[in-house]
Structure 1
Amino acid sequence: MGMEIKRKNTIFTGTQMDIQDLYKCVHCGLCLSSCPTYTVLGKETDSPRGRIAYMKAIYEEKTDLTPRIVSHLDSCLQCRACESVCPSGVPFGRLMEHTKSYIVNQKKYSFFRSVINKFLYKIVFPKPFILSLTSIAIKVYKSLQIHKIRIIKPTFMTPLDKMITDTPKEVFRAEGSVFYSSTTDNKKSVALLSGCVMPIVQSDTMRATVRVLNKNGCDVFVPELQKCCGALNIHGGDLEGAKSLAKANIDAFIELDIEAIIVVSGGCGAIMKEYYDLFQNDPDYLEKAIKFSSKVKDIAEYLIEIPIIKPEKKLNYNVTYQDSCHLSNVQKITTPPRKLLEEIEGITIIEMEDNKCCGAAGVYSLFHKEMSSVLAGSKMDSIESTRADVVISGNPGCMIQINGEASKRKSSIKVMHLVDILDEAYTYPS
């Protein structure tokens, strides 16, 4: 547009961002009703345009990065619902990611928060072995019933309650690269992201994914050298850590002779489809990242494209589908999951009136327990109002969040991944 903006602050220096993006917001307010924190708090400072105003003020050195401003910026769930309704095309997610990185680099988080961030982003998520040990610790935490002893339980561990579910005993782990062959004719070849959390917390879903893909004529390759997708690092401001994980995944998948890289986590898929954003200043990897991202497909997206083989069994369920933020707002995938459910005989889909963010947002509940809890409660109200037997989701974080709220309410509703209900509806050779 020819607008000259004098750079005064390093908040966005050295990033791939066009600083003009910061000035695209025209303060129309169309984003307000879509923002979870604004909807709950009703404060301009906790809205997308309010946060952009803070970013501008910091960039132009009109204010310092004070604890109060950090609090308002950090309370954003990065659900990117605002992007879906913004007429000016403000890339709010990218702006917030670099703002979070700036907060980290300026050491504006508390000592406790900084330690937890480093533990999660540098130790736990990048290293499957450590994550496995963490899962064992959670199981011990459950078996000793510590989560029920409020007097001795540290406050920061309260969010772990929602993970105290019957986690599968067997981890979905590739001991070396694993190849699962389909027995059908005219086969297709795909690779599967196993990720960091799902192989441990939802390993049954990972195995169901392989069965469903094999049933639909896909040979499935699970590369050994793949890593965590880096989504949590990006949301937490660890862009360099995310870039390192992205490079590892690009190297693990890029040379495979496959049609698609299949992802069964909405959050992972959203980030992987935008890997190229991390490498705008790295020409050695930019072309690879573009090629990689072009092959990433959510499982629902891919099954509709090939197209899916109709499941044989009749399932008499009333279901409601929960749109995860990064599937709907970022990947724009809302119709494919519903079309897949319609392929199952006996399924009745009942839509929620309010299908906003559930408050999971990665590790958000560790640092914003109250807001996360309010949003989880609101989501559960919407689910229960449908009187459905089953709530279907395409994102593990959402499933953990909803399961936790359902458990708290002693609700009988069943929480399932889309792949799990497809798996239940298929018949397989003995």
Structure 2
Amino acid sequence: MMNTKEKQKIQTEFKEKMDYDELLNCMRCGFCLPSCPTYIESGKDEAHSPRGRIAMMKAVVDGDIEPDEDVKRSLDLCLGCRACEPVCPSGVNYGHLLEQARDIIYQNSNQSLPIKAARNMAFEHLFPNQKRMIGFTSLVGFYQRSGLQNVTRKTGLLNLFPETLRTMEKVLPAIPKKSEMQNRPRYLPSLTEEKKKVAFFSGCLMDTVFMATNDATTKLLQYAGCEIIVPETQGCCGALHGHSGERERAKEMAKKNIKAFEDEQVDYIITNAGGCGAFLVDYDHLLKDEPNWAERALAFTKKIKDITSILIELNFHQLDLQLDEQIITYQDSCHLKNGQKTFMEPRQLLQSIKGVEYVEMKDASRCCGSAGIYNIVESEMSMQILEYKMEQTKKTNAKTIVTANPGCLLQMKLGIEKEGLSEEMEAVHIVDILLKAYENCNRLTTSN
């Protein structure tokens, strides 16, 4: 519980730091309500809607209410999916307001020792340091390969953990060996006529847990005619920090990435994770008040492009792509659609694959409930949202669910497992299915 001193400090900083003009932009029209998963799943509780949360933020600034536990709870329950932004007639930047408010609250309120220790470990020591990330994920890989996983499952030790974590353990991909994660390529030539020179943002989890998907991404870029630079000094994008009330640390990570890429003479900086890409294109906003970084951040953001966008630009969808006959559907990454404004490109690519029938899922752009670590810290709401998503998925009769973000991928895998559909349905990242479709028709080899 917040004490009086904490509430006073939070209220003061709300007045000093919140973008009041942005708060006033909200006309309370309610266009955002049908797009908000937490508003729908909470039984249409205004406190869990975008306009309700903005009203609370403004009320705290105006001194009409205290920043109490109810305010914090409402903000914590928000997925941060930003589905309210595209439908807002006033163009309210809700995501920016949410990050500002969470940062103020979390930086000025005491937390229990276990939560404080967990946040410190994740935000200060693990995600900002790729060597530690490699070390941590390699332990998970050892657990998978050594037989410990089988022993843990047979002895029932996993039953000590919440159901969501138990299911998540089942759907994690095979983790690469530590030596493989440490020896990543830094330059890759085009395998066809060179059309673009690009840099690749490899990320933290994407270059460890999802390393195979990163490799598929660079191979697709090579086939599409790209020369690729992968800067060694890049790191985590900082999205988890920015969304969780750790904006100062997020700024540090943004500066590190800008430095890593700004001397590379490339046409684009390519991303393959919707959540990372959306935060990267927001670096100009994150650093707008820092004179030495604002222009550099803007130059950086102008080069960010999702893998699906560059593939369409380079006419990859006009090449021979083929898979076995099947129905496929697509689950939007919220941040790819709402943050990077990339919506049609993934669909165009999937619809160009011969042998497949593409079926659009109802509410494909509604959040799946992953939202970073939301499915762990807000498991009940996350599973409610996932249940609806799986209902719509099953109606498509799809064999394959395609998405474009690692969190969404794990969430959909989790949904498949919970529904008992693992024998008849799979979830894949879009680059993995595109690479398979291309190599089915084109037997090129690389000289990596």
**Deviation of residue 323 (structure 1)?**
0.8
Task: Name the SS of the counterpart of 2:329 in structure 1.
Answer: strand
- Could you report, residue by residue, the CA deviation over 1:329-367 in whole angstroms, capped at 9, with x for unpaired residues? 121211001111122212211011122100000011221
Distance 1:8 1:133, change over 3 A: closer
Match of 1:381 among 381, 386, 391: 391
- Normalised by the length of structure 2, the TM-score is 0.88
What is the CA–CA distance in structure 1 between the aligned matches of 2:158 and 2:360, rounded to whole Å? 41
1:117 to 119, 124, 135: 119
Tell whether 2:182 aligns with 1:180: no
From 71, 74, 81, the equivalent of 1:72 is 74
Which deviations, in whole Å up to 9, do the C-alpha atoms of 1:277-324 show, x marking residues without a partner? 111111111111100000000001111112326343421231101111
Residue 443 of structure 2 aligns with which residue?
428
Q: Is the 8 A contact 1:310 1:344 kept in 2?
A: no
Contact 1:176 1:223 (8 Å CA) reproduced: no
Q: CA deviation at 1:258?
A: 0.7
Give the one of 117, 136, 152 matched to 1:145. Answer: 152
1:416 to 418, 428, 439: 428
SS at 2:435's partner residue? helix
In the TM superposition, residue 65 of structure 1 has moved relative to its aligned partner by 1.9
1:73, 1:50 → 2: CA distance? 10
3-state SS, counterpart of residue 293 of structure 2 = helix
The 2-side partners of 1:147 and 1:251 are apart by 48
Query: Per the alignment, do residues 148 and 24 of structure 1 end up closer, same or farther by CA in structure 2, a change over 3 Å counting?
Result: farther
The aligned counterpart of 1:320 is: 329
Alpha-carbon distance between aligned partners in 2 of 1:163 and 1:67, rounded to the nearest angstrom: 32
SS in 2 for 1:191: strand
The equivalent of 2:40 in structure 1 is 39
Structure 2 counterpart of 1:390: 400
TM-score by length of 1: 0.92
* Counterparts of 2:159 and 2:304, CA distance in 1: 45
Give the fraction of aligned pairs with identical amino acids, expressed as a percent: 36
Structure 1 counterpart of 2:12, from 9, 12, 31: 9
Residue pair 2:15, 2:62 contacting (<8 A) in 1 also: no
Q: Which of residues 350, 363, 381 in structure 2 aligns to 1:354?
A: 363
Instruction: Give the match for residue 231 of structure 2.
Output: 223
Q: Distance in 1 between matches of 2:140 and 2:45?
A: 37
Distance 1:234 1:385 in 2: 36
Q: Which residue of 2 aligns with 1:306?
A: 314
Taking the aligned partners of 1:148 and 1:312, their CA distance within structure 2 comes to 49
Report the Cα offset of residue 109 of structure 1: 4.4
2:335 paired with 1:335: no
Q: Distance between the aligned counterparts of 2:117 and 2:398, measured in 1?
A: 41
Q: Which residue of 1 is the match for residue 245 of structure 2?
A: 237
Q: 1:161 deviation in Å? A: 3.2
Q: How many aligned residue pairs are there?
A: 421
- Aligned pairs for 1:192-211 (under 5 A) are 192-211=200-219
Alpha-carbon distance in 2 for matches of 1:331, 1:340: 17
* Counterpart for residue 176 of structure 2: 169
1:242-270: CA deviation from partner (whole Å, max 9, x where unpaired): 11111110000111011110000000111
Range moving further from structure 2, 232-241 or 186-195: 186-195
Seen in structure 2, the aligned counterparts of structure 1 residues 304 and 100 have a Cα distance that, compared at 3 Å, is same
**Cα pair 1:194 1:222 within 8 Å, conserved:** yes
Q: Would the aligned equivalents of 1:216 and 1:309 in 2 still touch at CA under 8 Å?
A: no
CA pair 134-144 structure 1, distance change in 2 beyond 3 A: farther
Q: CA deviation at 1:420?
A: 0.7
SS in 1 for 2:305: strand
- The correspondence for 1:366, drawn from 367, 373, 376, is 376
**Contact preservation (8 Å) 2:194, 2:227:** no
CA contact (8 A) 1:216 1:308 kept: yes
> Structure 1: 5+ residue runs without aligned partners?
1-6
Q: Is residue 79–residue 371 contact of structure 2 (8 Å, CA) maintained in 1? A: yes
Deviations 1:24-70 (A, max 9, x none): 11111111111111100121111111111211121122222212221
Aligned to 2:165: 159
Shift of 1:94: 0.3
Which amino acid is 2:396 matched to?
T
Which letter does structure 1 place at the counterpart of 2:39?
Y
Establish whether residue 29 from structure 1 lines up as the match of residue 33 from structure 2. Answer: no
Measure the CA separation in 2 of the matches of 1:336 and 1:282: 34
CA–CA distance in structure 1, aligned partners of residues 182 and 200 of structure 2: 11
Aligned counterpart for 1:282 among listed residues 277, 280, 290? 290
User: 1:148 offset after TM fit, Å?
Assistant: 8.0
Matches of 1:78 and 1:160, distance apart in 2:
25
State the AA in 2 paired with 1:429.
L
Secondary structure of the residue that 1:219 maps to in structure 2? strand
| Backbone CA RMSD of aligned residues | 2.2
Q: Which amino acid aligns with 1:417?
A: H
Name the CA shift for 1:352/1:240 in 2 (closer, same or farther; >3 Å).
same
